[in-house]
Amino acid sequence: MSKNLVIVESPAKAKTIEKFLGPDYVVKSSIGHIRDMPKKDMGVDIENNFQPTYAISADKKKVVADLKKSVKTATKIFLATDEDREGEAIAWHLQQALSLAEDTPRIVFHEITKGAITDAINNPRTIDTDLVNAQQARRIIDRLVGFEISPVLWRKISGARSAGRVQSPVVRIVVEREREISAHNPTSSHKVKANLENSSNQSLEVKLSVDFKSKEEALSFAESVLLAELKVNSVETKPSKRSPKAPFITSTLQQEASQKLGFSVKQTMSIAQNLYREGAITYMRTDSLNLSELAISAAQEVIVSKFGSEFHQTRRYKTNSSGAQEAHEAIRPTDLTKPSILGLDDQSTKLYSLIYKRTLASQMSDAQLQKTKININISNRSEHFIADGEVLSFAGFLEVYDYMAAEDKLLPEVSKGDLLTLVDLASKESFSRAKPRYTEASLVKEIEQMGIGRPSTFATMITTVQDRNYVVKETREGVQRDYHLIEIEDGVISESIQAETTGAEKNKLFPTNVAYLLVDFLVKNFSNIIGYEFTANLESDFDLIAEESKPWAGVIRDFYEPFHAQIELAKDISRDETHGKRDLGEDPVSGKPVSVRFGRYGAFAQIGHQDDEEKPTFSSLRTGQDIENITLAEAIELFKMPRTVGETIDGETIKANYGRFGPYIQYGKKYVSLKEISPEEVTLEEALELIIVKEKLDAERIIKVFEDSDIQVLNGRFGPYVWNGKKRGKGQKNVTVQKVFGDKAPIDLTLEECKKAIDGKIKAKAKAKKAKKKTTAKKKASS
């Protein structure tokens, strides 16, 4: 019996939807995209109006074949891919690949509930070719950029992999922020705080109205305040309010999940996608703040029932983005009567709760507060003390969603003219700060405000720049910094120098050395590719294709022609212009020049010139060091390695050093990684302990060694193997014993057999058995 066929993107979504539609429908999944431009060539006919060539992806041929079978027996077919541009493009590719009619019903829904699915089935439309063309234009331009610029980068910049159209401006943002931080010169000021008491011995925490520029000014103030009369000049109390934030869109969900839950952007979108597929929330890639009237009514019922009518306030939020196009509603729970859902894992539960609370709070009353400000005169000074207090008089939305601190800060009862007593005072030297480094979430906020990318691309953009090793997310320790502290206790002034940690970072984004070179190269030679305004304008052009049927080929041509001309010019650039060389000064010992640059294996320091009679010496930069900021002194330190630690019991020299794969100690031809101790600090005793552990592990691994040969038979994670004795990156070769020798005991292998196996002169037993089985099967079939 034939059934109606519904094709969705996700297998998980297919199961959920099939339950709602009943026995007359079968729901199949395309498992994402099924076609793309071929990888072996550009796949774009530039001469023929940029027409793309598409091919079924190798890993989707079986999926497409299965869908074709289902299409043949189906009564009616519905294309139910996601409702954004990418989903529309997938629907179009399905139509083309499955040879479906142009008027094949296309259904969209922003939540997976029985009502939404039924309504979509009853109100289908056809594929929106404008949305498809907008997505095609984006994909074609990205292919043109990647295909033409990547070979230029491979030849010109060591370590550069490619330069995506939207990823490159993201790298530039991170690089420019890092340069701002490096260029920042901290200025100091002295901030004064004090504790005062009223006649009832009630404490009042105050701050001074101004900061002092020098320690001398702060000290002068401290001396004056000991002799001063402190009198209340005014007490001001006024009402204040705080309003709830709008319900989540893609970017704000990513930011809030990062700040409150510590989730990465990619993690947030993965969890949100699963919640959507399970029917728990609405579509998660959206830049619309709109809530449906049904959702607004449902929120009202829950709020009035649980908290009372005074906590409810209907709110309709307007989307600020002129290009809002991904979906028609904000991210919200599909059922607001469910503050939690059984069966979810811990992370999904936390994210769902965040979405639920934010949605409910968006329809609640303002929080009402009473703010109090007390000004206190200092009789012998022009400055004055200030005390601020805040009391929550009505919780409103904070009853549900306390995204901001709302703790009461009560002040003691004082009146104008009251005299106060100084209990203690502290004047602490503080330093101006540079702009903060980006987190994943704050970077999403930045690119959204700049108009670069769209909700469906934010997570991919952030992930891709990290995958390509242009940006790293790291936690770094700070450094110690001294500051001056002036205190008054029991009427006595004291001065001291204290220490604090500054510059510590947790899960912040840092540019790699190659990122600096990439950005400088692109800014110089491809200003449009990396230009913020250009990238934002191109996104607006995609919006015009989607919303106003702007001809997509014209948008591509306007981009490609100047871009291709720049590609031709860039081919003539010398590689020496792109290695990022920076001269630091002279080596105090040899008098030779010291420089840093980027090479095949990363950033390194160099003493001397290539054309010197004596060859120059090299040393790799350490983790956290970059060619932009390393100093001469720091570079000189690099050449103090390797450091001789001592000798083993057998008299072999033990050296500590840094290498491509991290710090290590070396004895003879053997190496041991240093995990928790630096090469500068490792002691002989610690080194010997590490060597003992390694020798024990090696003894357990070694099955057989051969005299006068580096070849060994060893135990590995996947069984015994033959090793040619060479290190990774220096001709290392391993051969699995079972694959080559079958069931032969590893201990019985001869040196000659091992040499032949390494040279590939022995046919693998596993392959031979497989070939024999195929031959036997063919013979049976022919007979």
* CA–CA separation, 664 and 675 (whole Å): 8
Catalytic residues: 283
Contact 358, 247 (CB under 8 A): yes
Give the CA-trace dihedral at 123, 124, 128, 131, to 10 degrees. 70
Contact 352, 344 (CB under 8 A): yes
- Please tell me whether residue 208 adopts helix, strand or coil conformation: strand
DSSP assigned state of 398: G
Which candidate, 38, 103, 96, 21, places its Cα nearest to that of 64?
A: 96
Residues in the chain: 783
Tokens of 493: 């002034």
CB 283 within 8 A of CB 111: yes
Element containing residue 216 per DSSP (H, E): helix 215-227
Is residue 654 within 8 A of residue 672, CB to CB? The reply is no
Residue in this structure with the two tokens 């005991």, named with its chain if needed: 745
The 10 Å Cβ neighbour count of residue 280 is: 23
CA dihedral 332, 334, 340, 343 (to 10 degrees): -120
Helix 265-277 and helix 11-21, axial crossing angle in degrees, nearest 10: 20
Q: Which of 139, 124, 145 is nearest to 80 (CA)?
A: 124
The rounded Cα 7 to chain-centroid distance in angstroms is 32
CA gap 121, 131 in Å, rounded? 21
Please tell me the chain's helix, strand, coil percentages from 3-state DSSP, rounded to the nearest 5: 40, 25, 35
- Please, are residues 526 and 570 in contact by the beta-carbon 8 Å criterion? yes
Rounded to an integer, what distance in angstroms lies between the CA atom of residue 249 and that of residue 286? 6
CB 425 within 8 A of CB 399: no
